Amino acid sequence: MSYIPHTDADRKAMLAAIGVKSTDEFFADVPASVRFPDLDLPGPLSEPETMRELQELAGSNAHTGEFSCFLGAGAYNHFVPSIVNQMIMRGEFFTAYTPYQPEVSQGTLQAIYEYQSMICALTGMEASNASHYDGATSLAEAAVMAINHFRLKRKKIILSPLVHPHYRAVLRTYTQGMGLNIVGDDQLDLTLSDLVPLMDTDTAMVVAPYPDFLGGVEDLKPIADAAHGVGALLCVVANPVALGLLTPPGALGADMVVGEGQPLGIPISFGGPYLGFFATKKEYVRKMAGRLVGETVDASGKKGYVLTLATREQHIRREKATSNICTNQGLMAIAATVYLSTLGRNGLRQVAEVCYHRAHYAADRIGELSGYTVLRDRPFFHEFVVRCPRPVADINAELLDEYGIIGGYDLGQDYAHLDQHMLLAVTEMNMPDDIDDLANALEEIAKQ
């Protein structure tokens, strides 16, 4: 527990304990030019005044409760059943930490076990942890697991450029200093088949998206066969809602499936907290980071749940751990569990089908507009690319200011060859009328 000094005497005592006489002396090693300036704060406010000011600040945000949203690119506006929030606000879930003591944590442990079971069913894998901070760190942990599986004898990671740009950046940051050779995404126009010649006996892992960042869906079987042909592992970065409709990656040869679980009952929330899911084959469980809950029986033969197949070092002995992941997004994993339980197998498929059909309706409508071209070189799920007649930033500004529509993602930010291309996402929250409004707005903007 941290201690905050409340009096001058407390402050002086703390400074004396570390061997300095004043706060200025404490910060003496920090150059004055980079120290935080003195704050000229306004006077205190009452609680009603504070609430009013906070509400006014919040009201300046463009949110999906007020605006029609077609922005995806990794975070998606799906419907969240009311029961999800009601369940995760229960005290036993809301305040729970790592359930080290199974005798007092059966509810949390069972919820985590159910989460793992549903993620395995969704991905076609044999084991799932619970969980990681987000999809990007799940991918980074997959790379660490692959390197550890080969006992550091293989150091190459082949990374598709159609994996989310943020995921690719986090992977490099997360693994810096490990001496890895990360290749494949240095050329942003490479396809999955273009990655095959890069594979060799030094390759530990090949990373393929499903669907990819541009919304496209490709057959993973050829890339899986090529990776396994050189003895490498295949990691698939997947959209979990798309898996309600598509063939599970496990059935196509994946060794690991990771991704962002935010679409599973977690609101966009201006960027988090989110949920990274991670599933793999049983043979790799010992190298998997994060928590794993197993089902067992107690001395009386009654069913029970416990943390399993993870050494204590994983949590408290940093230098001996496979990974230093300990605290996770457990509350978000429970939210995903409630969401998946509420929808069931058929409900999730229905959500995926609605997303698919409305996205294709949107693509058809926009494809009819003069000045816009929808890229249809590959099948897509619920995101697609549109070539625009003007810079995407300008179009998005007009959509928001003039029509109350949050536009798509400007792909020119990450892919130079896709300048003036917009990535649009359509979910079950985009009604046909919303799509028509977007198409009409884009048509008017093109005429200006």
Strands 383-387 vs 293-297: parallel, antiparallel or unpaired:
unpaired
Asked whether the beta carbons of 154 and 166 are under 8 A apart, the reply is no
CA distance 201 to 179: 17
pLDDT at residue 82 above 60?
A: yes
One domain, residues 308 and 198: yes
How distant, in Å, are the alpha carbons of 29, 195, 248, 263 from that of 170? 31, 21, 25, 20
Decide if 255 is inside a domain.
yes
- Using one digit for the tens of pLDDT, what is the confidence trace for 192-227? 999 999 999 999 999 999 999 999 999 999 999 999
- In this structure, what CATH number is given to the domain that contains residue 248? 3.40.640.10
CA distance 389 to 371: 5
- Span of 89-103, 204-218, 316-330 with lowest mean pLDDT: 316-330
State the pLDDT at residue 92.
82
Last residue of a domain, one of 309, 339, 369: 339
State the pLDDT at residue 286.
87
One domain, residues 327 and 385: no
Decide if 54 is inside a domain.
no
One domain, residues 178 and 167: yes
State the pLDDT at residue 1.
41
One domain, residues 363 and 328: no
State the pLDDT at residue 9.
83
Last residue of a domain, one of 339, 358, 391: 339
One domain, residues 378 and 277: no
Greater pLDDT, 320 or 56:
56
- Using one digit for the tens of pLDDT, what is the confidence trace for 397-433? 999 999 999 999 999 999 999 999 999 999 999 999 9
Decide if 95 is inside a domain.
yes
- Using one digit for the tens of pLDDT, what is the confidence trace for 115-172? 999 999 999 999 999 889 999 999 999 999 999 999 999 999 999 999 999 999 999 9
pLDDT tier at 6, thresholds 50, 70, 90 = low
Q: What is residue 257's three-state secondary structure?
A: strand
Decide if 20 is inside a domain.
no
Decide if 17 is inside a domain.
no
Decide if 400 is inside a domain.
yes
Within 13 Å and on the Cβ side, how many CA atoms surround 368? 9
Provide the β-strand partners of residue 384. 424
State the pLDDT at residue 265.
97
One domain, residues 74 and 96: no
- Span of 29-43, 173-187, 349-363 with lowest mean pLDDT: 29-43
Task: Determine the average pLDDT of the residues in 236-255.
Answer: 98
- Using one digit for the tens of pLDDT, what is the confidence trace for 373-396? 999 999 999 999 999 999 999 999
State the pLDDT at residue 150.
96
State the pLDDT at residue 41.
78
Amino acid (one-letter) located at 400: L
pTM for this entry: 0.89
The percent of residues above 90 in pLDDT, for the chain, comes to: 75
One domain, residues 309 and 351: no
Q: Which residue from 122, 138, 123, 69 is spatially nearest to 343, judged by alpha carbons?
A: 122
Q: Which residue from 222, 217, 231 is spatially nearest to 196, judged by alpha carbons?
A: 222
Average pLDDT, the chain: 92
Asked whether the beta carbons of 184 and 160 are under 8 A apart, the reply is yes
- Using one digit for the tens of pLDDT, what is the confidence trace for 57-78? 988 888 898 999 999 999 999 9
Strands 421-425 vs 303-307: parallel, antiparallel or unpaired:
unpaired
The percent of residues above 70 in pLDDT, for the chain, comes to: 94
Please state the domain count of the chain.
2
Decide if 35 is inside a domain.
no
Asked whether the beta carbons of 434 and 68 are under 8 A apart, the reply is yes
One domain, residues 384 and 443: yes
Q: Tell whether the torsion through CA atoms of 180, 186, 188 and 192 is positive or negative.
A: negative
Task: Determine the average pLDDT of the residues in 91-103.
Answer: 79
Q: What residues make up the domain containing 75? A: 68-79+345-447
Decide if 32 is inside a domain.
no
One domain, residues 72 and 112: no
State the pLDDT at residue 313.
54
One domain, residues 199 and 274: yes
pLDDT at residue 315 above 80?
A: no
State the pLDDT at residue 244.
97
- In this structure, what CATH number is given to the domain that contains residue 350? 3.90.1150.10
Last residue of a domain, one of 339, 367, 389: 339
pLDDT tier at 235, thresholds 50, 70, 90 = very high
Burial of residue 144 (number of CB atoms within 10 Å: 0-12, 13-18, 19+)? buried
pLDDT tier at 4, thresholds 50, 70, 90 = low
One domain, residues 315 and 276: yes
- Using one digit for the tens of pLDDT, what is the confidence trace for 256-312? 999 999 999 999 998 889 999 999 999 999 889 888 999 999 889 999 999 888 655
One domain, residues 186 and 318: yes
